[in-house]
Amino acid sequence: NAGVTQTPKFRILKIGQSMTLQCTQDMNHNYMYWYRQDPGMGLKLIYYSVGAGITDKGEVPNGYNVSRSTTEDFPLRLELAAPSQTSVYFCATYPGGVTKNIQYFGAGTRLSVL
């Protein structure tokens, strides 16, 4: 069972470069999320989606963009990378409906901007 797959696992960017963090799920979950975790801190919500074609901002959306064209994929785009975006990024999913309200996390992407 693949679950939530994030690629790449590690990436180093130079200031001003752009990149896309990929997130794919095979559980047919409606809800998908992007979080960032700064060193020694908890996770903070960047963007989320309640279904294909619908996205909304979380707590820390500046410098990021997302799209949700399919149920399976929820890519996170970084434009003009800055050192402040050095962090570990987690993608998560949630099925919605009457469930145990558990989110399922990917393994994370460690990003360094130098």
Partner 1 sequence: AQTVTQSQPEMSVQEAETVTLSCTYDTSESDYYLFWYKQPPSRQMILVIRQEAYKQQNATENRFSVNFQKAAKSFSLKISDSQLGDAAMYFCASFQGAQKLVFGQGTRLTINP
Minimum CB distance to partner 1, residue 15 (Å): 24
Work out whether 108 is an interface residue with partner 1 (CB under 8 A).
yes
Q: Which of 18, 26, 56, 83 binds partner 1 (CB under 8 A)?
A: 56
Burial 85-105 (b: 16+ CB within 10 A, else e): bbbbbbbbbbbeeeeeeeeeb
- Decide: is 79 part of the binding site for partner 1 (CB under 8 A): no
Q: Which of 43, 66, 76, 113 binds partner 1 (CB under 8 A)?
A: 43
